Amino acid sequence: MIETIERKLSELNLPLEVVLWDKTRICPSGNPEVSLTIHSPRGLKSLIRPTLGKIAKAYVNGVVDIDGDVKKTIRIGESFVSGESSTYQKNLRIFDWWRHTRPADRQAIQHHYDVGNEFYRLWLDKNHVYSCGYFKTEGDSLDEAQENKLDHICRKLDLKPGDKLLDIGCGWGALIIWASTHYGADVTGITLSDEQYRLTSEKIKKLGLESRCRVRLLDYRDLDFENYFDKVSSVGMFEHVGKANLSTYFQKIFSVLKPGGVVMNHGITTNSLDDHSLGSDIGKFVDEYVFPGGELVHLSTVIEKMSSQGLEPWDSECLRPHYARTLWQWVDRLERRAEEAKKLIGEQRYRIWRIYMAGSAHAFDRGWISIFQILAFKPTSNGAVAYPLTREHVYD
């Protein structure tokens, strides 16, 4: 096996050094940028017919250690596994509906988000926004990019004072608080995360916004409103819905909106026209360690499912480079506070978040996955929509 790895490194001429458990060093290039330390013969299995998912799993479980810039690590890793796997692989899951029952979805959300607000506070922006930022200039800080995004959404929704806004998957409350304080909207946010609910409730109370801003611990399927909201936003949530439930999801949005109401759906998509998950076992790794039950679909699938439930798409904006930039900033911020993070969540979970976010940033950079904001309306009986004729209100 060792000879196989050495031959492959030599053929690819990669700046990668492999250090074995007996201190043997394999580095045909002679100029390593990244060092991969294998702690036992068992670890060699991750390098024989390797995939990015296998290597990530070995790293998370401490079978191997990776030393070097994480951006270079991911890039070299892709070159190392080239020829062993494809960009996408077919989803082979059976009974997908079972993965997205109410209890299953609640458990999945808590698995990812309820690791402690203090952990997320280490590397998120000051408003605790855990979704793609919006960089207007190369020099925008993460704080600026996230506030740009919050305002971009409110402008797209053409939010007005008194508008009733529902935010599905409200996170730590950044958007509902922004919409309430800067636009005078009457806002309701829902989440399945106990930690998010607790912190958002505290923020609302501290700011004295209880009269026009509230958060509920609620599954979107259990919303009991009908033709009530003027606007609906959903940011970084529909990835958790599951392909089998997308019709239910958009039907619920249709039902809670008033006729003429507008929805802005902001979510990650795959660039596979067949809605396949990322190949090289990346999808498997994410499902096992990061987002249980998470599923990505192509933009065309989102629009088809949205349209099938009576919502009329008006705009679609791709934010792929913005999310790559956001993720790389998150990785940098997490690495700078690595020791604090490990004390809060442990070595393994730190490794999961580090390699997951770096891998995701690389996937956005490479165009394997993307992210879109899709604006759509619930039609009125006569087809009239009260929305500006141009998009000057968004970019002014």
Residue-by-residue DSSP string for 113-154: HTT-HHHHHHHS-TT---S----SSTT--HHHHHHHHHHHHH
Question: Do both 47 and 180 map to the same domain?
Answer: no
Question: Do both 285 and 142 map to the same domain?
Answer: yes
CA distance 262 to 156: 9
Average pLDDT (352-381) is 96
Q: What is the CA radius of gyration of the chain?
A: 22
- pLDDT tens by residue, 121-176: 999 999 999 999 999 999 999 999 999 999 999 999 999 999 999 999 999 999 99
Question: Do both 231 and 369 map to the same domain?
Answer: yes
- pLDDT tens by residue, 68-93: 999 999 999 999 988 666 789 887 55
Q: What is the CATH number of the domain that holds 39?
A: 3.30.1050.10
Question: Do both 165 and 127 map to the same domain?
Answer: yes
CB atoms near residue 294 (< 10 Å) = 18
Question: Do both 199 and 111 map to the same domain?
Answer: yes
User: Which of 85, 108, 139 is at the close of a domain?
Assistant: 85
- pLDDT tens by residue, 325-341: 999 999 999 999 999 99
Q: What is the CATH number of the domain that holds 199?
A: 3.40.50.150
Question: Do both 236 and 348 map to the same domain?
Answer: yes
Average pLDDT (191-213) is 96
Confidence of residue 47 (pLDDT cuts 50, 70, 90): confident
- Cβ(18)–Cβ(44) under 8 Å? no
Question: Do both 104 and 161 map to the same domain?
Answer: yes
Number of structural domains found in the chain: 2
In a domain, 244, yes or no: yes
370 forms beta bridges with 269
Question: What stretch of H or E contains 308?
Answer: helix 299-308
Question: Do both 301 and 187 map to the same domain?
Answer: yes
Question: Do both 355 and 303 map to the same domain?
Answer: yes
**Residue range of the domain that includes 78:** 2-85
The secondary structure of residue 29, as a DSSP letter, is T
Token readout for 332 is 């940098």
Locus of tokens 């946010």: 189
Average pLDDT (196-205) is 96
The model carries a pTM of 0.93
CB burial class (10 A; 0-12, 13-18, 19+) of residue 30?
Answer: exposed
pLDDT above 90 covers a percentage of the chain that reads: 77
CA distance 290 to 286: 5
Question: Do both 73 and 136 map to the same domain?
Answer: no
Predicted pLDDT at 40: 87
| Diameter of the chain measured on Cα atoms | 76
In a domain, 91, yes or no: no
Question: Do both 212 and 146 map to the same domain?
Answer: yes
CA distance 51 to 85: 7
Question: Do both 49 and 19 map to the same domain?
Answer: yes
